[in-house]
Amino acid sequence: MAKTLSGKIALVTGASSGIGEATALALAEAGATVAVSARRADRLAGLVQKIEAAGGKALALAGDMAVEADAIKAVEDTVAAFGRIDILINSAGIMQAGGIEGADLALYRKVIDVNLMGTIYTCQAAIPHMLKHGVGDIITISSLAGRKGGPQTNAYSASKHAVNSATDAMRQELGNRNIRVSILMPGATRTEVGDSIVDPNWRAAIQAHVAKDGAVEPSEIADTLVFMLSMPRHVNISEISVRPTIDTTA
């Protein structure tokens, strides 16, 4: 891969697995220095070792993006270590299933706190640094669930609709100051997103959905993201969907 991002400083949240991990690897391969954040410090350490073994530079910053102080600290520690932040990738996200009847509101809040508020925390912390240097890129990993709803994906779909709206509002707010803001919406992608779902039936259903033949690989989402970042500065790919070819009706 060409070093299209040489000299750039990136922070990737949700980097301990799936799309976040693949994105960190792809950014490093494209020449960026990468700070990686997630709750699982052991996995972050392994990711940093992998990036450094390939000749890249990386920093592990363990934290929970649902916790405002952790999210802000991830941004500030990135800037403290490398002098600035050029790229913010909001990849931290969780899924739970269930409708409104008998809903576990604690699970609803957790989904909203991670998927929506975690994104807002990191963006609010990073934007002043980007404005100071006159340039920046923010890409939020959303979902095709942010374009539809479902009786068993109530909290997740609501969080992703909100993420899409908030992200596009930031694009309109910041575009005339050379900060590009984009939404990347994957369809079925081979990740661990279903593993933490409490309901066993829906956990099995989502695990099967993302493992089906033809599902998108995390590295393919990461390649799409690098493409978005590598466009000329006057081009902002504001929104892009990536789904398996076989999903013709979703």
Q: Measured between alpha carbons, how far is residue 171 from residues 89, 139, 148 in Å?
A: 14, 10, 22
End-to-end CA distance of the chain: 31
- Using the Cα atoms of residue 195, residue 200, residue 203 and residue 208 in order, give the sign of their dihedral: positive
The catalytic residue positions are 156
Cα–Cα distance measured from residue 39 to residue 31, given in angstroms and rounded to the nearest whole number: 25
- Ramachandran assignment for 103, one of left (phi > 0), alpha (psi -120 to 50 degrees), beta (any other): beta
Surface-to-core class of residue 39, CB atoms within 10 Å of its CB (0-12 exposed, 13-18 middle, 19+ buried): middle
Contact 92, 13 (CB under 8 A): yes
